[in-house]
Amino acid sequence: MTNTAFRIELDELTLRRARRGDMRACEDIYRLFQRPAYSLAYRICQCPDTAQEVIQEAFIVLFRRLDQFRGDAPFWAWLRRIVANQSISALRRRRPETSLESLVVEPAGEDQDRRLQNQMDIETALARLSPEDRSVVWLHDVEGYHHREIGQMMNKSESYSKSRLSRARKKLSCLTGEDKQPGELAGEAVYLQAKLT
């Protein structure tokens, strides 16, 4: 699986305390995962206020459903899925006139190295994708979700995810002037994510 910022281990004691309603344990979980949760929500929604609302909703859902966490997958993967689902729901609620097509991220300054400039170019290109295409690219290439999982999150088919990803990669290629492979995009995006958070 991709090297996601969510890959943080949660000790069993904190999880047990949080399940019993210990507010200190819940706060510890929030502090531990708040940054990667915000980063994922922002990457999908492209709006700081919306991302903040998404993580608030996601953590409310998380704490209400802690008793449903069975431990079949790591805790971080379960939380990441909740954040992704909440982000996609926020996109669905967004009014059409707030389309993100026109958003452009400020490019990096001249004093920064070429690698950071390339990553900012990718960030700018990602911001110019439709919200659905950007979500599919980020969830698949950076967070490591499979097409079937992305289709389920979006209430669509697996082929919907595959076709959106293919279309988005072509557009990214046109926007950046380079043919980015999934691994390259994931590596550069994770590096950029670390620089921006």
User: Are 91 and 124 found together in one domain?
Assistant: no
User: Are 108 and 195 found together in one domain?
Assistant: yes
Q: Which two tokens stand for residue 41?
A: 């929500």
- Closest by CA to 131, choosing from 31, 41, 8, 39, is 41
Q: How far apart are CA 84 and CA 54, in angstroms?
A: 9
Give the count of domains, the chain. 2
Counts of helices then strands in the chain (DSSP H, E)? 9, 0
- Closest by CA to 90, choosing from 127, 51, 123, 128, is 51
> What pLDDT is recorded for position 3?
66
Give every residue of the chain whose pLDDT is below 50, as ranges: 1, 96-112, 116, 190-197
Where residue 90 sits, what CATH number does that domain have?
1.10.1740.10
- Our CA dihedral for 71, 72, 74, 77, rounded to 10 degrees, sits at -120
Quickly list H helices, 70-157.
75-93, 114-128, 131-137, 147-153
User: Are 111 and 183 found together in one domain?
Assistant: yes
Return the H-helix or E-strand segment holding 196: helix 182-196
User: Are 84 and 166 found together in one domain?
Assistant: no
User: Are 137 and 185 found together in one domain?
Assistant: yes
> What pLDDT is recorded for position 109?
45
- Domain span at residue 165 reads 101-197
> What pLDDT is recorded for position 185?
56
Q: What is the CA radius of gyration of the chain?
A: 17
Length in residues, the chain:
197
Q: Is the pTM of this model over 0.75?
A: no
